[in-house]
């Protein structure tokens, strides 16, 4: 990735590109060419309007999408757009969509309706849609038919082509649609604009091969592909040189990292290499599939000074029978044994999870098994979801889909249990001193800073904005359920 520090070098490369000739075939030069070309069009329009052009990027879904959006923003900024948080005021609006549950899709349609009204008043406005939802053929059909005012549609596999697609749209004046089913291509060295100067997501792999029966991700993100360890290390080194102290290694299933590389490497091996990078203080990663979590990884975590004391380990259900139908490939007992092994090796680790209620065929007994796991593991926090039927997945055609009122009732009971346990777990740190990475000024009170502990808990404490991005020690004074109020001691 090209980060801020390197933008001078990037400009030098652009200077040598002649946009009057044909576009180069090789990446990333081809995209540099289109960035320069798009910049020319943006400049022309900006002169005509007598003001800068604004772009607004809205991100739905997971960390993976958040990282993709940083790439979108990086390209938009280099094209000459100025970032604008409000979509009504933007000349270019792009939604990076999620489709993991149906209501994510419904939200996008709702917001598009509103955007159409804005576009009517501001006809040169462009609207782009990308991300997971666009990988569903029915979605694209619907957009083509009923949302003709959308300018640009692309998916998860060709984000790197964003500049090229913008130019195609600007030159053709027509709706541009470019969706790929899958790819084995990974394009390095494209611009990216980080949301935070001091922390960053880093993709280590793309796609997923697990095919959990409820999940649409393998269909919209394609097959598993790992990035070359050298490219990952180089990216982290550059990030650190640019002021980053914490990285979040991202993949749908980081525990199977490296299996398909020419020279296979384990995720634990990769972590050890990243740990060596001087100046990097904290390493996080997401997401771990329990079936692939190795003893080697547990050992590396136990001996690491940089890997944060937090593991997100989605259980999805506590019932072995449901887990089998979900194609998770572990039993309740195996999951619990894994948790025990992790806790024995890393006693201060915070465990979080994802849980789905109302999977087809789930009985009250199955649900009780889930509650049992929650009570046994005592998660520090848990994301709870009502099962959502995703067309094309095996679970969508399973018998015994659970009525909405039953799902809602189980969801409410689960949430209550999860919340009361997390509040208890959170409070055990009262009066301890914790190392905290200062992230932002508090949303509600600007005399307070908000920081994150190694175990992912938040703490608010009085302090000066100059501390943002620094690691400081904070005494935790009062627990408020999911966060602390504290006092900086150093």
Q: Which residues would be at the binding site for ligand 5AD (CB under 6 A)?
A: 100-101, 214-215, 314, 316, 354, 356, 385, 387-388, 390
> With the CA atoms of 60, 270, 274 and 188 taken in that order, what torsion angle do they form, in degrees rounded to the nearest 10?
-60
Q: Report the helix count and the strand count for the chain, using DSSP H and E.
A: 14, 19
61 sits near ligand SF4 (criterion: CB under 6 A): yes
In the bound complex, what is the minimum distance in angstroms from residue 102's beta carbon to ligand 5AD?
8
Buried b (16+ CB within 10 A) or exposed e, 151-190: bbbbbbbbbbbbbbbbbbbbeeeebbbbbeeebeeeeebb
217 sits near ligand SF4 (criterion: CB under 6 A): yes
390 binds, among ligand 5AD, ligand SF4, none (CB under 5 to 8 A by kind): ligand 5AD
CA distance 62 to 256: 19
Please give, one letter per residue, the 3-state secondary structure of 270-335.
Answer: HHHHHHCCCCCCEEEEECCCHHHCCHHHHHHHHHCCCECCEEECCCECCCHHHHHHCCCCCCHHHH
57 sits near ligand SF4 (criterion: CB under 6 A): no
Number of residue whose CB is nearest ligand 5AD: 354
Largest CA distance in the chain: 69
Per CB under 6 A, the segment of 82-90, 115-123, 146-154, 216-224 that binds ligand SF4 is: 216-224
CA distance 28 to 13: 11
Exactly one of 1, 2, 115, 132 binds ligand SF4 (CB under 6 A); that residue is 132
Query: Which residues does 219 contact at the CB level (< 8 Å), separation at least 6?
Result: 135, 136, 392, 393
| Choice between 215 and 247, CB closer to ligand 5AD | 215
In the bound complex, what is the minimum distance in angstroms from residue 234's beta carbon to ligand 5AD?
29
Are the CB atoms for 70 and 193 separated by under 8 Å?
Answer: yes
CA distance 364 to 358: 10
In the bound complex, what is the minimum distance in angstroms from residue 441's beta carbon to ligand SF4?
28
The pair of three-digit structure tokens given for residue 481, joined into one six-digit string: 């359920």
356 binds, among ligand 5AD, ligand SF4, none (CB under 5 to 8 A by kind): ligand 5AD
360 sits near ligand SF4 (criterion: CB under 6 A): no
Q: Report how many residues bind ligand SF4 under the rule CB under 6 A.
A: 11
100 sits near ligand SF4 (criterion: CB under 6 A): yes
62 sits near ligand SF4 (criterion: CB under 6 A): yes
| Choice between 301 and 357, CB closer to ligand SF4 | 357
Are the CB atoms for 3 and 198 separated by under 8 Å?
Answer: no
274 binds, among ligand SF4, ligand 5AD, none (CB under 5 to 8 A by kind): none
Exactly one of 67, 71, 221, 289 binds ligand SF4 (CB under 6 A); that residue is 221
270 binds, among ligand 5AD, ligand SF4, none (CB under 5 to 8 A by kind): none
| Choice between 33 and 359, CB closer to ligand SF4 | 359
In the bound complex, what is the minimum distance in angstroms from residue 389's beta carbon to ligand 5AD?
7
Point out which residues bind ligand SF4 (CB under 6 A).
61-62, 64-65, 98-100, 132, 217, 220-221
């Amino acid at each position: 990735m090209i980060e801020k520090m390197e933008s001078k070098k990037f400009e030098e490369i652009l200077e040598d590109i002649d946009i009057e000739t044909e576009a180069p075939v090789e990446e990333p030069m081809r995209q540099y060419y289109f960035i320069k070309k798009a910049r020319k069009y943006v400049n022309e329009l900006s002169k005509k309007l007598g003001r800068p052009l604004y772009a607004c990027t809205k991100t739905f879904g997971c960390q993976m999408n958040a990282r993709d959006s940083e790439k979108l923003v990086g390209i938009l900024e280099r094209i000459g757009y100025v970032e604008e948080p409000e979509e009504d005021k933007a000349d270019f609006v792009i939604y990076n969509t999620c489709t993991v549950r149906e209501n994510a899709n419904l939200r996008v349609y709702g917001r598009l309706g509103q955007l159409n009204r804005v576009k009517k008043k501001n006809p040169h406005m462009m609207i782009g849609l990308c991300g997971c939802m666009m990988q569903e053929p029915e979605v694209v059909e619907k957009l083509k038919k009923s949302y003709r005012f959308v300018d640009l549609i692309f998916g998860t596999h060709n984000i790197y082509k964003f500049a090229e697609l913008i130019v195609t749209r600007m030159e053709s004046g027509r709706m541009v649609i470019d969706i790929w089913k899958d790819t084995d291509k990974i394009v390095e060295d494209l611009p990216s604009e980080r949301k935070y100067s001091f922390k960053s997501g880093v993709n280590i792999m793309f796609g997923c091969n697990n095919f959990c029966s409820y999940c649409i991700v393998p269909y919209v993100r394609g097959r598993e592909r790992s990035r070359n360890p050298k490219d990952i290390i180089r990216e982290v080194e550059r990030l650190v040189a640019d002021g980053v102290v914490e990285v979040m290694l991202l993949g749908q299933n980081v525990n199977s990292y490296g299996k398909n590389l020419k020279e296979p490497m384990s995720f634990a091996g990769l972590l050890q290499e990243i740990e060596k990078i001087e100046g990097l203080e904290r390493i996080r990663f997401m997401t771990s599939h329990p079936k692939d979590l190795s003893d080697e990884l547990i050992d590396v975590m136990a001996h690491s000074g940089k890997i944060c004391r937090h593991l997100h380990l989605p259980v999805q259900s506590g019932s072995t029978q449901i887990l089998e139908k979900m194609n998770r490939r572990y039993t309740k007992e195996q999951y619990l044994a894994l948790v025990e092994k992790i806790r024995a090796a890393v006693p201060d680790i915070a465990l979080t999870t994802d849980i789905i209620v109302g999977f087809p065929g789930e009985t009250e007994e199955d649900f009780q098994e889930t509650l049992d796991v929650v009570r046994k593991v005592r998660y520090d926090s848990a994301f709870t979801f009502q099962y959502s039927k995703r067309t094309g997945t095996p679970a969508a055609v399973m018998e015994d889909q659970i009525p909405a009122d039953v799902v809602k009732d189980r969801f409410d009971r689960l949430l209550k249990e999860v919340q009361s346990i997390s509040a208890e777990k959170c409070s055990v740190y009262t009066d301890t001193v914790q190392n905290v990475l200062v992230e932002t000024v508090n949303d509600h009170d600007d005399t307070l800073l908000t920081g994150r502990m190694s175990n992912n808990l938040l703490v608010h404490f009085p302090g000066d904005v100059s501390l943002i991005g620094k690691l400081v020690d904070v005494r935790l004074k009062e627990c408020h359920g999911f966060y602390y109020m504290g006092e900086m001691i150093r």
